[in-house]
Chains A and B, each alone.
Chain A
Amino acid sequence: MSVPVGHYQYDRIDRDFLQARIAEFEGQVKRRLDGTLSEDEFKPLRLMNGLYLQLHAYMLRVAIPYGILDSRQLRKLGQIARRYDRDYGHFTTRQNIQFNWIRLEDTPDILRELAEVDMHAIQTSGNCIRNVTADEYAGAAADELVDPRVHAEILRQWSTLHPEFTFLPRKFKIAISGSPNDRVAARFHDIGILARPGEDGAPVFRIFVGGGLGRTPVIGEELFDSVREEHLLATLEAILRVYNAHGRRDNIYKARIKILVQAIGVEAYREAVEAELGQMDLEQYRLTPEAVEAIRARFAVPLLEAPDDADAVLTQQRRDDPLFDRWVRSNTHVHRDPGHIIATISLKPAGGIPGDATSAQIERLADLADAYSFGEIRITHLQNVVLGHVRKDRLRDLWLGLSEVGLAEANIGLIGDIVACPGLDYCALANARSIPIAQKLGARFADTALQAEIGALRINISGCINACGHHHAGHIGLLGVDKRGEEFFQLTVGGRAENGAAIGTILGAALPEDETVDAIARVVDCYLGRRESGETFLDTLTRLGHEPFREAAYEAV
């Protein structure tokens, strides 16, 4: 495999750049150690290179641009987990991977190992433009209008060490999708971009601005409906220029772009952006078709060939094996090629830690990607893994291979597919432990037949109001709070990050940790008892309002 399928192929210039970035970081570490850089000065510099100081150790967050890896890169992540961490890695809601037990002095070596496979930790943290996320089914899904990866790569390059936007008021997250079915939570990003085909063949972009979760959840508002490709970078520059000049810097909790957009209103923000564009030399910022094609040329395209009976083979295998059939139902998505299918591999085993994978599992995933999906792996914003191009007649073999390493959980999009932040087990900001409650919920609803019966239901858990577990966007959300040293959880219902984005409604007073799982079970029972034919949890909630669910949650309290 010379050119990787699914992501941009580096050349010597890109590799030299990574080496220069490592040398720069090494110099910064040295200046910190000899005292010429203060800790206050070093902190933003190390964060811009993905290095956090957590409760017990340093954490290194490695970038997986638009969530796509090749098997060689994945194997390297497994090796790093084994050599420098405690034999596992943690996939995040922004399609990155975190190593939680890193020593500061090992960091330059780890960065050098990553650079061997064209990986880095650039801008995975800090008040800069963060790693760009994209649709996990990009270039594969039948429902896709535009493959967003080429433009995601353009945004990655454009934002890398941007001279003007590296010291923003606060972090800045961009997501891009090319499907009418939003799988990137576009309206919960600082900038969300939805691409669709334009009249001349080049894509046009619908741009949302000012969305976000955190302490102040806000649904992003449409800034422009149809930005032409040639003006994409100019428009983003203008949006960021307004934010950099006018975003609040006096209070970090009021510093995100969403606060500025709320303060002046989206119309005034649009006028400000248009005023910038009116003064800019658009030719200087123009994204040319030649530039787009040059970057597109660095992506290899999978050769999708399947036997004529691939679909029939899969149909027969599903009929013969109900367990396999259940996994196919929940864990696959329709591919644009009729002989192929998209498989999502759950990193949410019942009772396990959402998003964690051991070195052995990571290496096995790399092998399976080589065998079944052109060596390409995608990380989802819901902390799972996708093999994007699996031949239908070979899907069962993949499933059997996954079963051998405990990765065949049939729960994608179901109640067991929980998103949780690292919580108080790792994080200095947290009020409560997110992982144990996620494990208890996973164990409570472990029965995959029950999960299938319950249907589409997302649970999101955050250990504090910074909302890294996106509880506001969960169909059921849990927010950890501290009450005189005891862990409590506040429940919300009705949030969603997909089409029709909404922020969940708080059900009532927070519940003690040991009553929370039972309360959620009663909410689910309420839904099962009162749903009408074909209704999902959200459908029933919309029809009945949240009162019956509130009563159910607090029934025994």
Chain B
Amino acid sequence: MKLFELGERTAQVHNVLVTVAELADRDDVRAVLLESADDPALLRPYLNRLDLVVLRFPIFRDGRGFTQARELREYLRFSGEIRAEGHILPDQAAFLRRCGVDSVVLPKNGNGDPGLWEKQLRQFPMAYQRSVLPERGIGPGLRVEEAP
């Protein structure tokens, strides 16, 4: 498993990863796997002890993970690591990062080339809407760039 960091946070390796249903019985576990149909609010009772939430993308076209990441950051104020795994494309790197995802499990095919992920993160110098990242406005309109 090769990890790629989308931002500054160092990706942590966790040997035990459980489902949301299994969390209640496992006080020792610090990492959970969220399927795309799972409601992130289910994690509310466990957030204090979780270091890592892994969002599984069954297919890159299933965009529920983007909303899950934002809900984790914006509603649940989760400050641990969020990771995306499964069928994801480097073309989604900046979208994932801007929704609050810190790292990805690189796909095992041509889409797993870290150079492509690196390039995509630098593709657009600005955006037309705010995200969960620290950003500052470019002038008084909607455009923003990442705060240094």
Q: Which residues of A contact B (CB under 8 A)?
A: 13, 16-17, 20-21, 23-24, 27-28, 31, 35-37, 41, 44-45, 127, 154, 157-168, 233, 241, 244-245, 249, 279-281, 284-285, 288, 290-291, 293-295
Contacts and interface: CB of A to CB of B under 8 A. Distances in A.
Contacts of A244: 63-64, 66-67
17 contacts: A13-B143, A16-B125, A20-B125, A24-B120, A35-B110, A37-B110, A37-B111, A45-B91, A154-B142, A163-B129, A164-B67, A165-B63, A167-B60, A167-B92, A279-B75, A285-B130, A294-B139
Given A13-B143, A241-B67, A164 B99 contact: yes
B10 to A, nearest CB: 23
Nearest to A243: B67
B61 interface: yes
Nearest to A290: B140
Contacts of B56: none
B142 A158 contact: yes
Nearest to A28: B91
B88 to A, nearest CB: 10
B129 A162 contact: yes
B141 A295 contact: yes
A164 B66 contact: yes
Given A36-B110, A37-B110, A157-B129, A164 B142 contact: no
A256 to B, nearest CB: 15
B127 interface: yes
Interface of B: 39, 60-64, 66-68, 70-71, 74-75, 89, 91-92, 94-96, 98-99, 109-111, 113, 116, 119-120, 123-131, 138-143
B130 A245 contact: no
A349 B68 CA distance: 51
Nearest to A154: B142
Contacts of A44: 60-61
Contacts of B139: 294
Nearest to A48: B91
Contacts, number: 117
A163 B66 contact: yes
Contacts of A127: 61, 63
Contacts of B126: 13, 16-17
B123 A20 contact: yes
Given A158-B128, A285-B130, A167 B63 contact: yes
Contacts of A159: 129
B119 to A, nearest CB: 8
B95 A291 contact: no
B63 A20 contact: no
A284 B127 contact: no
A167 B62 contact: yes
A27 B113 CA distance: 14
Nearest to A296: B141
A245 B71 CA distance: 10
Nearest to B133: A163
A293 B141 CA distance: 8
Contacts of A162: 129
A163 B99 contact: yes
Contacts of A295: 141-142
Per CB-CB distance, the 7 closest pairs between chain A and chain B, nearest first, are: A167-B63, A36-B110, A163-B98, A294-B140, A157-B128, A163-B95, A294-B141
Contacts of B95: 161, 163-164, 166
B128 to A, nearest CB: 4
Most buried by B among A16, A244, A279: A244
Contact of A163 (B125, B131, B143): B131
Contacts of A36: 109-111, 113
A449 to B, nearest CB: 50
A172 to B, nearest CB: 11
Most buried by A among B60, B63, B119, B143: B63
Most buried by B among A37, A157, A163, A166: A163
Given A162-B129, A163-B131, A168 B138 contact: no
A166 B141 contact: no
A157 B63 contact: no
Given A127-B61, A164-B67, A17 B142 contact: no
Nearest to B145: A13
